[in-house]
Amino acid sequence: MPADLHLHSTYSDGSYQPEELLKLARSKGLDTIAIADHDTIKGSKKAIKIKDDYDVEVIPAIEFSTYKNKAEIHILGYYIDFANKQLKQEVDNIFQARIKRAEKMIDKLNKQGVAISLKEIKNKIEDEYIGRPHIAQEMIEKGYIDEIGEAFTDKYIGNNGQAYVSKYKLTPKKAIKIVKEAQGIPVVAHPGFINNGLPLNKEDIKEMKKSGLEGIEVFHSRHSSDERAYYRSVAEELDLVITGGSDFHGDKTPEIELGDVNLNIKYVDDLKVKSEIHKNNK
C-alpha cells in the first residue's frame, strides 16, 4: 500500500490534529505516513502513540527550516530518536526564538494600529507553535484583512514588510548534523521548490551530501514530472534514498490533498533499511 511521508499537523502550521490525519490517511488507503511538522516533534510523537487505533504506520519525523543566504532550504529527518538530547535542545532553541519573533511582529503590528495579542492567538491554537499564518488568521478574525495573503505584504508581515522580523536561522549543514546525531535520515525537502531561491541542482545536492545528506524528496505535490525525473536521476547517481510526500497542511493549502503523492512502499522499505543500518552502526 502507498505512503505519504510529508504531512503537517496543528502542532505546527497544519489545520488537522494528528488523529485526524491518521483517520484521513486510513480513509484514503494509505499504509504509512510521516507527520513532519516544522521544527517540532510533538505532532509526530502523538501520532505514534495512537497509530494502532487507525492501523496506519507512522515514521518518526521532523522538518527543519534552514537557510543558505536568503534561500530557505527545508531538511526532513526520518526515523529520528525523539529522546536525543541534541535534537530536543535545538527544537527548544527554535521554539523560544519563534515566540520572541512572534512577540516582536505583534508589537510592530500594534504600533500600526492592528490590535491583536499573543495571548489571544495562543488561546486558539493546538500548541504553542506560533508562525506568521497564525498572526495572519488573527488579523482576519479581527477584521483587519480579508484573506491570509493580505498579511504577507510589505505593509504587514511579508518578507521585509513593515512588521516583519527575521527568523532564527539554522543552516542546512547544522540541521543535517542534528538529524544524524538523533540516528535519523536527513532528506532535502522539495528541492524544486525553494523559497527565495532557485531550485537545487545536482551540484547543490552533492555539496549537501558532503555534510551528511542521505536522501531527496523526489515526489512532491509541487514538483512537475520533469522535476521528478531530474531529482530521481540525481538521487540514483549520488546513491541517495528517494522519498515523497504531499506536504499537506489542510485548510491552509486547499490545493493540496493528503495522498496527492502516493509513495510506492518500495521507497518506504528502502528508508527503513537505511534506518536499521544506522541503528546497527550506533
Dump pLDDT digits (tens) for 194-219.
Answer: 988 999 999 999 999 999 999 999 99
pLDDT at 219 (0 to 100): 98
In this prediction, residue 278 has a pLDDT band, given cuts at 50, 70 and 90, of confident
Give residue 141's pLDDT.
95
Query: pLDDT tens digits for 26-85?
Result: 999 999 999 999 999 999 999 999 999 999 999 999 999 999 988 999 999 999 999 999
Q: What is the pLDDT of residues 110-128, one digit of tens each?
A: 999 999 999 999 888 766 7
The pTM assigned to this predicted structure is 0.88
Cα–Cα distance, 138 to 115 (Å, whole number): 10
Q: Which domains are assigned to the chain?
A: 3-90+168-280 (3.20.20.140)
CA distances from 56 to 32, 60, 74 (A): 6, 13, 25
Instruction: Tell me what pLDDT residue 30 has.
Output: 96
What does the pLDDT look like over 215-256, one tens digit per residue? 999 999 999 999 999 999 999 999 999 999 999 999 878 899
Over residues 98-115, the mean pLDDT reads 96
Decide which of 232 and 279 is more confident.
232
Give the per-residue SS3 of the chain.
CCEEEEECCCCCCCCCCHHHHHHHHHHCCCCEEEECCECCCHHHHHHHHHHHHCCCEECCEEEEEEEECCEEEEEEEECCCCCCHHHHHHHHHHHHHHHHHHHHHHHHHHHCCCCCCHHHHHCCCCCCCCCHHHHHHHHHHCCCCCCHHHCCCCCCCCCCCCCCCCCCCECHHHHHHHHHHCCCEEEECCCCCCECCCCCCHHHHHHHHHCCCCEEEEEECCCCHHHHHHHHHHHHHHCCEEEEECCECHHHCCCCCCCCCCECHHHHHHHHHHHHHHHHCC
For the chain, what percent of residues have pLDDT higher than 90? Answer: 84
Euclidean distance between the first and the last CA atom of the chain, given in angstroms as a whole number: 30
Give the residue with greater pLDDT, 128 vs 12. 12
Does residue 22 register a pLDDT over 70?
A: yes
Task: Say which residues have a Cβ less than 8 Å from residue 126's Cβ, sequence separation at least 6.
Answer: 9, 10, 11, 17
Residue 164 has phi, psi (to 5 degrees) of: -75, 145
Judged against a pLDDT cut of 90, whether residue 282 lies above it is answered with: no
What's the pLDDT at 92? 92
* Res 126: pLDDT: 64
CA-to-CA distance for 107 and 114, rounded, in angstroms? 9
Report the b/e string of 10-26 with b at 16+ CB within 10 A: bbbbbbbbbbebbebbe
Query: Per-residue pLDDT for 1 more than 80?
Result: no
Mean pLDDT score of the chain: 94
More confident residue, 2 or 281: 2
Q: pLDDT class for 281, splitting at 50, 70, 90?
A: confident
More confidently predicted of 251 and 153:
153
